[in-house]
Structure 1
Amino acid sequence: MNPNKALWEKGDFTKIAESMRNSGSELVAKLGITKGMKVLDLGCGDGTTAIPAAKLGANVLGVDIAENLVKAGNARAKAEGLTNISFQEGDATDLHELNDQQFDLVVTIFGAMFAPRPHDVARELVRVTRPGGRIVMGNWIPGDPTLVAQILKISSAYTPPPPEGFVSPMLWGVEEQVIERFAAAGVAKENISFSKETFNFEYSTPPAELVAKFRQYYGPTMNAFEAAEKNGKAEELHRELEDLFIKQNKSGNNETSFIPATFLKVTVTKR
């Protein structure tokens, strides 16, 4: 089994994605999507950004490495009555099933950043984008004080060191790394722009219940707890995460969760 596929088929990411719907729609609304535009959403999950793009009239293909998320995305599209979107399995490092220069817009929000071999990812993103088209990535930022970077930082302290040759997905949140990777794929530095933006995790229950969702359903956090349990430190990890979620909750009360997370938005124009 592909380790990346196993990671994202673990648990059920749809339970986390439920807290990401509003920000997903808000992000897509700013992308200038027009009716008939051909859009690829790579690492799409169950459609947090793909489905809003289809609702704006784009013809959308969602691609994800996890079979369960592809099934969930197709089910969501059917339930919404959308006929201009489909989901299929695929690997961001090798999109051999997709033609060159096929899409007007390629979107990957916290998706392709988790694939191994980042230079292969950049090459494939560029290859499937038509000349004049755009690539938009949303990437978490290493060391950022907000939610997701801190979840991953805390979790890493409880897990064994990664294998030799491992490249941290968080390096997609470093501008110099992004420029270097796309340069190797033939994109000039002046055709890449960056902005720091906010993605909100919204949940109708207290932060402690959102922590429980991550522990039960989010692959990276599940792995961290499995490692922590072997060392008798699972409850210590749980307390650290609860403290983080509670401190960062901006909902104004203890009964609901509204937790912002800063990310690096990358926009690449293919000339």
Structure 2
Amino acid sequence: MNPNKALWEKGDFTRVAAAMRESGEALVNAIGIGPGLKILDLGCGDGTTALPAARLGADVLGVDIASNLVEAGNSRAAQAGLSNCRFQEGDASDLRGLENKTFDCVISIFGAMFAPKPFEVAKEMVRVTKPGGRIVMGNWIPNDPTLVAQILKISASYSPPPPEGFISPMTWGVESNVVERFGAAGIPKEDISFVRDTYTFNFQGSPSGFVDTFRRYYGPTMNAFDAAEKNGKSEELRKELEALFESQNKSPSKDATSIPATFLRVTVQVR
């Protein structure tokens, strides 16, 4: 099995995604999605950006490597009555079955960045985008002080070293890497733009409760706790994550958590 598939099917990312809905909708509104556009949402999860795009009238295909998330996305679309939104399994680095120059916009918000073979990912995204279309990625930034970058950094410190040849997903948060990868796919530097944006996680519960959600349902954090338990360090990991979540929580309520996280928004114009 593709290790990425095992990672994202291990937990239940829908539990984490529930805290991401509002920002997903705001992001889709901000990037100008509208009626009649053909959209590919790559690494779509259960539809945090796919469903809002469909509600705006776009024809949306969500592709994700995790079968449980594809099933959840199709269920959410059906419950919302969105016949213009469907989900299927697929690998961001090998979009076999999707024809060249098909989509007006390819979106990948914290999705394709986790796929192996980043140069293949860029090449595939460019391949399936129509001339005149665009690609929009949201990528976490390495060593950024805000939430997700720090969760992944802390988790990595408790986990065994990655296999030889592993390329960190966080490298997608470095502008020069993005330029190099899309450049190899034929996109000139001047057709790639960057902005630092904010994504807010809103969780109905305390920061420690939100940590528990990550521990139980988010693949990378689950793996970190598995490794930490073998070394007798799971309590140490829990305390470190709880301190992070507490320090970054902006909610005035004890029963709610609201944590903004900085990410790199990439826009690629395909000609």
TM above 0.5: yes
Q: After superposition, what is the alpha-carbon deviation per residue over 1:182-227, rounded to whole angstroms, capped at 9, x for unaligned?
A: 0000000000000000000001111110000000000000000000
Q: After superposition, what is the alpha-carbon deviation per residue over 1:78-118, rounded to whole angstroms, capped at 9, x for unaligned?
A: 00011101000000000011000000000000000000000
Is 1:202 aligned with 2:206?
no
Q: CA RMSD in A?
A: 0.5
Amino acid at match of 2:7: L
Q: Which residue of 1 aligns with 2:78?
A: 78
Q: Which residue of 2 aligns with 1:217?
A: 217
Q: Which residue of 2 aligns with 1:230?
A: 230
Task: Note the C-alpha offset of 1:128.
Answer: 0.2
Secondary structure (helix, strand or coil) at the match of 1:150 reads: helix
* 1:93-108 superposed matches below 5 A: 93-108=93-108
Of 252-261 and 181-190, deviating more is 252-261
Q: Which residue of 1 aligns with 2:147?
A: 147
Amino acid at match of 2:264: L
Secondary structure (helix, strand or coil) at the match of 2:265 reads: strand
Secondary structure (helix, strand or coil) at the match of 1:224 reads: helix
Secondary structure (helix, strand or coil) at the match of 2:158 reads: coil
Task: Note the C-alpha offset of 1:254.
Answer: 2.3
- 2-structure distance, mates of 1:162, 1:224: 12
Of 92-101 and 246-255, deviating more is 246-255
Q: After superposition, what is the alpha-carbon deviation per residue over 1:220-249, rounded to whole angstroms, capped at 9, x for unaligned?
A: 000000000000000100000001001100
Task: Note the C-alpha offset of 1:18.
Answer: 0.1
- 2-structure distance, mates of 1:119, 1:86: 27
Amino acid at match of 2:104: D
Q: Which residue of 2 aligns with 1:239?
A: 239
Secondary structure (helix, strand or coil) at the match of 2:208 reads: helix
Q: Runs in 1 of length 4+ with deviation above 6 angstroms?
A: none
Amino acid at match of 2:248: Q
- 2-structure distance, mates of 1:26, 1:79: 21
Secondary structure (helix, strand or coil) at the match of 2:8 reads: helix
Task: Note the C-alpha offset of 1:262.
Answer: 0.2
**TM-score, length of structure 2 as denominator length:** 0.99
Secondary structure (helix, strand or coil) at the match of 2:161 reads: coil
Task: Note the C-alpha offset of 1:253.
Answer: 2.7
- 2-structure distance, mates of 1:22, 1:97: 32
Stretches of structure 1 lacking an aligned partner (at least 5 in a row)? none
Amino acid at match of 1:104: D
Is 1:265 aligned with 2:261?
no
